[in-house]
C-alpha cells in the first residue's frame, strides 16, 4: 500500500485509511499501514491479553492480531470470517487489527484534523488523537494505536528516561499531540536539567519559535503526526527560514522508521528516532550540538 501512496513531505497533508470497528468510524495514517487482508486463519494463544484474538502466519511472519472491536467495546454482527485485518507497523512493531469493514482512503490536510476536547482527553481510556469532520455529518476518529499497544504490552509504552544530567540550562521546544507522551517526554527532559516549552501541534511551536530569541533555543523535538501542522511541515518551515534554520530538529515518531527515514531527510531533519526509545532520545538531544 505504501508504495502506491506518494505524498511530498512537508506539505502538511496525509492520507488515511477509513474503517469501522462496530459502529465507530475510524482512521489511521496510511504511512502506518502495510496492507489490508481478508480473513486469515487465526491461531489462539493461551493466556494472552483479552483483546488479542491470536496470531496469523503472514508470508512467514508470525503477527499478533488485535480485536479492535472488543478493545473499543463495540458490537459487530459480523463473524470473524467476515471481518478484515489491517496490517500495521508502528514503533518498529508489526501487528494486525481485526475490523468490521474498510471504506477507503482519504487525502486531507492536518488542518482538517481537530484536537479532541479536554473532556475526551481527560479520560485515560480514550485512545483518540484527532477528529475529522466528514461528509453527511459523519465523524472520523483518529486512533492512538501507540496507547492501545502500550496498554496491552507495557514494554511498548513510552517510559521516563533514566538520565539525570546533561541538559542543564538548555531550553527545548517539544511538539507532541499525545498528552500522555508529552508528559513523559517533558518529565524526562526536566530530570536531565532542561527547561521545556510544550506544544500540541506544529503551528503553535512554529509561532513560538518565530517570536523567540535564537540564543534561547537549544533544540526542537517534534512528533510527525499532529493536528493543524505535522512535524515534517514544522521541520521544513524551520529549515527554510533563514533565521531559524540553525536550530537542530529531532523527529521523534512512531513512523520514523528506516523505511520512511527519507521523508525526514527531505525536509532537513537533523536526526530521527522511533518511539518509544526515550533514553536514546535524551542521549541524542544531549549530543545534538556536539
Tens of pLDDT, residue by residue, the chain (290 residues): 444 444 567 889 999 999 999 989 999 999 899 999 998 899 999 998 899 999 999 999 999 999 999 888 888 888 878 899 999 988 778 999 999 999 999 999 999 998 877 666 555 566 888 899 887 788 999 988 888 887 887 766 667 777 788 999 999 999 998 877 888 899 999 999 999 999 999 999 999 999 998 888 999 999 999 989 999 999 999 999 999 999 999 999 888 665 667 888 899 999 999 887 888 999 999 999 87
Do the Cβ atoms of 133 and 155 come closer than 8 Å? Answer: no
Q: How far apart are CA 178 and CA 176, in angstroms?
A: 6
Q: What pLDDT does residue 2 have?
A: 43
Q: Which of 133, 151, 153, 149 is nearest to 141 (CA)?
A: 133
What is the DSSP code (8-state) at residue 276?
A: T
Q: What pLDDT does residue 109 have?
A: 93
Architecture per CATH, domain 2-155, reads as Beta Barrel (2.40)
Q: How far apart are CA 238 and CA 6, in angstroms?
A: 23
Q: Which of 115, 113, 109, 117 is nearest to 132 (CA)?
A: 113
> How many beta carbons lie within 10 A of that of residue 182, not counting itself?
18
Model confidence, pTM: 0.82
Q: What pLDDT does residue 6 have?
A: 46
Which of 1.10.10.60, 3.40.50.2300, 3.90.480.20, 3.50.50.60 would CATH assign to domain 158-287?
A: 3.40.50.2300
| DSSP string computed for 188-257 | HHHHTT-EEEEESSHHHHHHHHHTS-GGGEEEEEE-S--SSS-HHHHHHHHHTSTTTTTS-EEEEETT--
**Could you tell me the residue ranges of all domains in the chain?**
2-155, 158-287
Amino acid at each position: 500500500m505504501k508504495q502506491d501512496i506518494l505524498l511530498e513531505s512537508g506539505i502538511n497533508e496525509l492520507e488515511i485509511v477509513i474503517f469501522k470497528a462496530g459502529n465507530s468510524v475510524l482512521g489511521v495514517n496510511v504511512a502506518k499501514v502495510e496492507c489490508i487482508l481478508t480473513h486469515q486463519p487465526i491461531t489462539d494463544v493461551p493466556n494472552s491479553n483479552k483483546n488479542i484474538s491470536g496470531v496469523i502466519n503472514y508470508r512467514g511472519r508470525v503477527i499478533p492480531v488485535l480485536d479492535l472491536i472488543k478493545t473499543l467495546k463495540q458490537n459487530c454482527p459480523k463473524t470473524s470470517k467476515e471481518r478484515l485485518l489491517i496490517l500495521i507497523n508502528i514503533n518498529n512493531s508489526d501487528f494486525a487489527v481485526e475490523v468490521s469493514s474498510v471504506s477507503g482512503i482519504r487525502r486531507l490536510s492536518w488542518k482538517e484534523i481537530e484536537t479532541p476536547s479536554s473532556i475526551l482527553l481527560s479520560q485515560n481510556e480514550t485512545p483518540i488523537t484527532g477528529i475529522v469532520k466528514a461528509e453527511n455529518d459523519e465523524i472520523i476518529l483518529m486512533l492512538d494505536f501507540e496507547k492501545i499497544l502500550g496498554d496491552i504490552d507495557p514494554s511498548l509504552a513510552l517510559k521516563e528516561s533514566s538520565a539525570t544530567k546533561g541538559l542543564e540550562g538548555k531550553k527545548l521546544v517539544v511538539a507532541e499531540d499525545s498528552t500522555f507522551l508529552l508528559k513523559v517526554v517533558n518529565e524526562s527532559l526536566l530530570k536531565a536539567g532542561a527547561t521545556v516549552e510544550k506544544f500540541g501541534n506544529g503551528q503553535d511551536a512554529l509561532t513560538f519559535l518565530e517570536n523567540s530569541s535564537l540564543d534561547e533555543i537549544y533544540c526542537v523535538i517534534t512528533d510527525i503526526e499532529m493536528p493543524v501542522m505535522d512535524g515534517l511541515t514544522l521541520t521544513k518551515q524551520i529549515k527554510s527560514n533563514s533565521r531559524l534554520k540553525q536550530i537542530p530538529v529531532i523527529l521523534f515518531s512512531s513512523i520514523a522508521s528506516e523505511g520512511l527515514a527519507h521523508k525526514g531527510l527531505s525536509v532537513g531533519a537533523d536526526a530521527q528516532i522511533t518511539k518509544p526509545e526515550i533514553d536514546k532520545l535524551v542521549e541524542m538531544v544531549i549530543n545534538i550540538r556536539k
